[in-house]
Amino acid sequence: MATSFNMMAFAVNCSTQRRHFFSDSFDHLKISLASAFTKPILTGLHQAQLQFDVTRTMRNTTEKLLDAFVDSVYEFSDHPLLPSQSNYAPVEELGEAILVTSIQGKIPEDFPGGVYIRNGSNPLFGGLKSTKSVFGRSSPMWVEGEGMLHALYFKKKSDGSWTVVYNNRHVETETYKLEKQRNKPSFLPAIEGDSLAILFAYLLNWLRFGKVDKHLSNTSVFEHSGKYFSVAENHIPQEIDILTLKTLKNWNVNGAWNRPFTSHPKRASDTGELIIMGMDATKPFLEVGIISADGKKLVHRVDVKLNRCSLSHDIGITQRYIIIMDFPLTIDINRVFKGGQLIEYNKNGYARIGVMPRYGDADSIRWFEVEPSCTFHIINSFEDWRRVWGCRALDSVIPGTDRDLNKSEFFSHCYEWRMNLETGGVKERNLTGTKFSMEFPVINGNFIGFKNKYGYTQVVDTSLSSNSAIPNFGGLAKLYLEEPDAEFPLEEKQVEELVKVEYHMFEKFVFCSGVAFVPKEGGVEEDDGWIISFVHNEDTNKSQVYIIDTKRFSSEPVAKITLPGRVPYGFHGAFMPISL
């Protein structure tokens, strides 16, 4: 087919040149020449069309044969949910926004207008699917499933009252639309299970769809240059209409970013640029990028030159540096060929933190060896001793739900690393005690990359999480990062003081997700604002949004907003100040 098109191009080129050569007086000669050239062009077009039809027919036949093979060999079944996991089950799209009328308490007068939006897994066709075949069994991770956005809109009226509206909608990635059109599970799960089954899942997904796995877009939501995006680690972001939640298009920075994209990009306050990274299972394993403030250009891109694919979920920034976490939770297809698992945490593997100048390259990174651990989320990082605060565990709850969460190693606690660029030394310490496990940290976004006094986390209900094999968050914590914990038992203290922690615990069987910090309009102090969170009561099966005054953190929420339907537990939330 390529040869035919090349001949056609040559013929057209010749024809054009000759038409310019002859004068208008030679019309009859031009007609003869045109006739002479038209015949081979039409012949070439006909041959090209025939080849295209043959190719399309062969492709359609191959697709049908592969589909028939999958249908006959594979059996899909619902990935089982324990009773304690019932609120991980998916919900239907509403189809239109709904006015919220049930509000207990009062939305503060100085609360900003805008949208509180949270991303999360909402699998098609009833839930996550496992498969059984002659090749064995394969199943997804508990964090998989098509993304769904849940949004609560706040509009203040002229009389001081509030209009609150709720909506939800799936993020329509290419693979979402593909399966939706087929109206049945089509992609084979390829994360956990028997090695042969995982390898064949990858192969068959690629042969049928040109992709080894689904594009989930279920993890986080962020804004850049007035545009809003949904994202998950395994693909580029999707731009969304923040008012309708409609998916608009993929965002590849005008074609400059063609690899996965972190769920936690960071905006540099001095330039407005967006710091990103993307991990991949093949080299280059990790690249870091910087996007211009207007979102139109990738101004810097660097291969970090890792020798393994670390499952890096977060990236840190300071005023001058980028913080890279290279920890021993890795993705390695070679393990699958040897009978192992695709994703694995190696507690005996090395761990290190990289400090790279913002516009540096791999050679400019200073690496600091640290104790092996698993850190998904950074609380903050800043220049003072190149400090990094994060939520650190001694083992990983990813990939599987078959982990014994009775083991304390799976529960994370707030932690600090201090890197000294002059000596190459690093100091580590726990920031909080071991009574409560904490994850999904947030801070006042105006302090990202700068020394901050306060952080906020979701608190794990360790007893119930042990039974459900998935973390359940039964409360919230406020970290006073500059104040020592005067009440902590002396025998449990370290050389460095643990920090003060204030708690906001929920009733039994009430859990939260998607916590975000909302700065107060005209606020002066760092903690002037509110924590907002989706909350679900498993006894009543009702979902609400809580607004908690961060100055009176342990007090009752200032407002509890009852939603018109159940909202499944999800991942990261954000508050976007917008005009409605």
Identify the bridge partners of residue 454 per DSSP, sorted by sequence position: 480
Under 8 Å between Cβ of 461 and 511: yes
One DSSP character per residue, 307-350 reads: SSEE-----EE-SSEEEEEE-SEEE-HHHHHTT--SEEE-TTS-
Backbone angles phi, psi at 6, to 5 degrees: -65, -40
* Residue 28 known to bind ligand: no
C-alpha–C-alpha distance, residues 132 and 399, integer Å: 19
C-alpha–C-alpha distance, residues 520 and 131, integer Å: 49
Under 8 Å between Cβ of 491 and 460: no
Rounded to 10 deg, the angle between the 195-209 and 27-73 helix axes is 150
Residue 120: in which H helix or E strand, if any? Answer: strand 114-121
C-alpha–C-alpha distance, residues 194 and 182, integer Å: 27
Q: If you compute the radius of gyration of the chain from its CA atoms, what whole number of angstroms results?
A: 27
Task: Give the residue among 417, 290, 287 at the shortest CA–CA distance from 352.
Answer: 417
* Residue 235 known to bind ligand: no
One DSSP character per residue, 517-531 reads: EEEPTT--STT-EEE
Q: Which residues of 216-247 are buried (b: 16+ CB within 10 A; e: fewer)?
A: bbbbbbbbbeeebbbbbbbbbbbbbebeebeb
* Residue 572 known to bind ligand: yes
Q: Count each helix (H run) and each strand (E run) in the chain, helices first.
A: 6, 37
Q: Sheet of 343-345: strands edge to edge?
A: 309-310, 329-331, 343-345
What is the number of residues in the chain? 580
Cα torsion 517, 518, 520, 522: sign: positive
Cα torsion 531, 536, 537, 541: sign: positive
Place of tokens 């107060």: 520
Give the tokens for residue 4: 């035919």
Residue 112: in which H helix or E strand, if any? Answer: none
Task: Report H helices in 391-550.
Answer: 462-468
Task: Give the residue among 167, 64, 66, 56 at the shortest CA–CA distance from 117.
Answer: 167
Q: Residue 156: what residue type?
A: K
Place of tokens 């030679």: 26
Residue 159 burial by CB count (10 A; 0-12/13-18/19+): exposed, middle or buried? exposed
Q: Please compute, for residue 225, the number of CA atoms within 13 A of its CA located in the half-sphere on the CB side.
A: 14
* Residue 224 known to bind ligand: no
Backbone angles phi, psi at 282, to 5 degrees: -125, 160
Give the tokens for residue 386: 């190149």
Q: Is 240 helix (H, G, I), strand (E, B) or coil?
A: strand
| DSSP at 364 | G
Which residues make up each annotated binding site?
Answer: 264, 313, 377, 572
Write out the binding residues for Fe cation: 264, 313, 377, 572
